[in-house]
Amino acid sequence: MASTAPQQISDRDLDDIFGPVFDRIAAGAVAREVDRRLAYEEVDWLRQAGFGALRVPAEYGGFGVSVRQLFRLLIDLAAAESNLPQALRVHFSFVEDQLLAEPGPAREHWLRAAGSGALVGNAITEPGIGAVDRYRTRLTRGSGDDWLLNGTKYYSTGSLYADYILAAADRDGERVSVLVDANADGVRQSDDWDGFGQRLTASGTTEFNDVRITEERVLGPGYGAPGRTYATSYLQLVQLAVLAGIAQRAESDVRAWVADRTRSYTHSVADLPRHDPLVQQVIGKLSAAAFSARASVLAVADLLDGVLAAGAQDDAALDAVELASAQAQLGVIDTVLTATTQLFEVGGASITSEDLRLDRHWRNARTISVHNPAVQKARAIGDHLLNGTDLPYAWSAGSREAQVRS
């Protein structure tokens, strides 16, 4: 008897859907960088194409793609605009949490919301606070059964583009995550992120002033909850996908620039830069960097596919993918930072032109790479391999027992 299981959409079909959208986004990348124009229109293009619903099952309005297919597309989106995968990072983790939740009305509600285009941002980190057990953001009892959310957050990545904001707060000494309507009364957002790279991720300040929260919008313990979770490796891998995309775009930008260039050094061995073996060597290294970064990301994505398909419950499997993502982090960061520095060797001072903005590739790569400092991750890997010390898990948008219920 023939199988009646739904056919998974192919990579070619996905490219046909999203490739033209990525091309439109890429066409304005330099202008957005120059003007510091947040990518509201571009996010709407992605929303209309169903990008935020990639992992949502078809019965809820999504594409039902694999984790590998998602990260393959995240790399290509990062090549078009490196800010956007980072801005959507928590959204995709939130969708995964719903996929892992127990079947019921809550799960169906949020999967259908994501399938219809709803996006989730975040407001976790606080100014001056280095530990999750010292949040000053508070959830206190309001009138009736409702709660009031008050506090200030920074690094609110993606929230200006989002319909909902996943916020971390303290409720009577307990850490909780809260899902807030982005346009709710008392929510104020600012684009005041002042980093020299990834400037369009909408990673600024979010203020909550007596924002009314219903009980069903209070999640589990959220960020910093103890124990193993798929989400640390998953969220780290989105950052690595950004780096892989940066390498891909840097190689294509520089190759196009060299191919059109007619001016060469007086002491070059070739009349045209594209015929210079030293320039060819730089292009070859850039290409290798993009290839190896992509391969590393997809290798970890394959592991995540297995972990998530099995319900993300097996501690050994969670440790394996956490270790793999940490190892990939160290390799990808070194590879991409080196590549985005070496790219300037193919030309003289003209390659530093502001019109080209090729420096954005290094600035963006350097910025995304310090979100989880590699020096700390290297130590954790070594301690784990030498002494069996637990790997550092740091994120859970809810918990296995307490998913969002509305």
Q: Which of 38-42, 133-137, 229-233 has the lowest mean pLDDT?
A: 133-137
Q: Calculate the CA 127 to chain-centre distance.
A: 21
Tell me the Cα Rg of the chain. 22
Decide if pLDDT at 108 tops 50: yes
Instruction: Answer with the residue of higher pLDDT: 264 or 81.
Output: 81
Question: Structure pTM?
Answer: 0.94
Decide if pLDDT at 18 tops 70: yes
Q: For residue 286, which phi and psi values (nearest 5 degrees)?
A: -60, -45
Residue type, 55: R
What CA–CA distances, in Å, run from 17 to 20, 54, 201, 239?
7, 12, 24, 23
Instruction: Please give the average per-residue pLDDT across 389-399, as a whole number.
Output: 67
Decide if pLDDT at 405 tops 60: no
Question: What is the structure's pLDDT at 129?
Answer: 66
Decide the pairing of beta strands 206-213 and 187-189. Answer: antiparallel
Burial class (CB in 10 A: 0-12, 13-18, 19+), 253: buried
Tell which residue, 380, 341, 375, has the closest CA to residue 358.
341
Decide if pLDDT at 398 tops 50: no
Decide if pLDDT at 161 tops 50: yes
Average pLDDT for the chain: 91
Supply the DSSP symbol for 108: H
Decide if pLDDT at 142 tops 50: yes
Supply the DSSP symbol for 102: P
Q: What percent of the chain has pLDDT over 90?
A: 81
Q: What is the DSSP string of 338-394?
A: HHHHHGGGGSSGGGG-TTT-THHHHHHHHHHHTSS-HHHHHHHHHHHHHH-PPP---
Decide if pLDDT at 158 tops 70: yes
Tell which residue, 359, 361, 370, 327, has the closest CA to residue 155.
370
Residue type, 396: S
Quickly state the pLDDT bin for 372 (edges 50, 70, 90): confident
Q: What is the DSSP string of 317-336?
A: HHHHHHHHHHHHHHHHHHHH
Quickly state the pLDDT bin for 271 (edges 50, 70, 90): confident
Residue that is written with structure tokens 């859907």 in the block: 17
Q: Which domains does the chain have, with CATH numbers?
A: 11-119 (1.10.540.10), 123-221 (2.40.110.10), 230-387 (1.20.140.10)
Distance CA 93, CA 371 (A): 17
Question: What is the structure's pLDDT at 198?
Answer: 96
Residue that is written with structure tokens 């790997």 in the block: 391
Question: What is the structure's pLDDT at 7?
Answer: 62
Q: For residue 179, give the H/E element and its range.
A: strand 174-181
Are the C-beta atoms of 86 and 158 separated by less than 8 Å?
yes
Instruction: Please give the average per-residue pLDDT across 198-214, as a whole number.
Output: 96
Decide if pLDDT at 184 tops 90: yes
Greatest alpha-carbon pair distance for the chain in Å reads 80
Instruction: Please give the average per-residue pLDDT across 160-165, as a whole number.
Output: 98
Residue type, 101: A
Query: What are 32-49's pLDDT values in tens digits?
Result: 999 999 999 999 999 999
- Residue 213: partners with Cβ closer than 8 Å, 6 or more residues away: 139, 142, 146, 147, 148, 149, 178, 180
Query: What are 314-325's pLDDT values in tens digits?
Result: 999 999 999 999
Decide if pLDDT at 98 tops 60: yes
Quickly state the pLDDT bin for 132 (edges 50, 70, 90): low
What CA–CA distances, in Å, run from 378 to 282, 338, 392?
28, 18, 11
Decide if pLDDT at 117 tops 90: yes
Question: What is the structure's pLDDT at 399?
Answer: 41
Decide if pLDDT at 268 tops 70: yes
Are the C-beta atoms of 317 and 263 separated by less than 8 Å?
no
Question: What is the structure's pLDDT at 77?
Answer: 98
Q: For residue 266, which phi and psi values (nearest 5 degrees)?
A: -65, -25
Instruction: Please give the average per-residue pLDDT across 278-292, as a whole number.
Output: 97
- Residue 94: partners with Cβ closer than 8 Å, 6 or more residues away: 110, 114, 120, 166, 397
Decide if pLDDT at 351 tops 80: yes
Instruction: Answer with the residue of higher pLDDT: 402 or 302.
Output: 302
Tokens standing for 279? 């320039």
Q: What percent of the chain has pLDDT over 70?
A: 93
